[in-house]
Amino acid sequence: MAYTYLITGATSDVGRTLIERLLHNAPTDTLVLAQGCGDLAKMAELCRRYPGQLRTYDVDLSDRAKVDAFVEVLAADAPAPTHFIHLPALPVVNTKFKAFDQRRFDLDLEIEVHSAVRICKAVLPAMVRAKFGRVLFIQTSYTIGCPPKNTAAYVMAKSAIGGLVKSLAVEYAKFGITVNCVAPSMMETHFLKDTPDLIVQAAAEDNPMGRNATPADVVPAMAFLLSDEAGFITGVTLPVTGGSAIV
């Protein structure tokens, strides 16, 4: 069975690291459908290294009409995804709730949650027919236990993803489809560009391992949940936290 991976937020540090892992030594009929938004230049090296196995799409996930057009293009021009990995998120804005930015929160929900719902509705029927599928989201350790202060918008959006995962997991398990999350602790990527250095340093110092996570720490857990071997694991949120959040 040839695998087709649909990855949204593929231009992120995590997305590119995951693509490298998925395509390295993969059969030549393995295909990655990679979505980015205005930043597809980041995929140039991967496209060069894996010609014919990586197709890129520039899509604004905050626009519902563009998301719907995207899934129509995929249905017409690409094999049905066997795997769907949803990674997009806006950088965390650390701000007190009294300064809550409703417009930014609505944008977060569109990109992280509403686009995921629309794409899942498009790709899950083919997985049902195939009696196989893997769906994976990225959440956050902030949803495990007590979250840090001043992250209400981020925590609410990620909590919505957690609810979607549990609901889809129980509904689609009988069709051989698994739906899971990874929940990293603070990960040092471009995603932290708006986070003050003192907060990043404090998180590293507070982690039992004395550092923050990296994509290289998180991607192996993602790859496992996407694998054939993880076929009896569904509805879980797997912490990848160096011990800073334990369930």
How far apart CA 77 and CA 46 sit, in angstroms, is 21
Angle formed by the axes of helices 102-109 and 152-172, to 10°? 20
Question: Can you give the length of the chain in residues?
Answer: 247
Single out the catalytic residue among 50, 57, 142, 154.
Answer: 154
- Residue pair 91/13 in contact by the 8 Å Cβ criterion: no
- Is there a catalytic annotation at residue 154? yes
Which tokens hold the place of 37?
């938004």
136 SS3 class? strand
How many angstroms from the chain centroid is the CA of residue 31?
18
Catalytic residues: 154
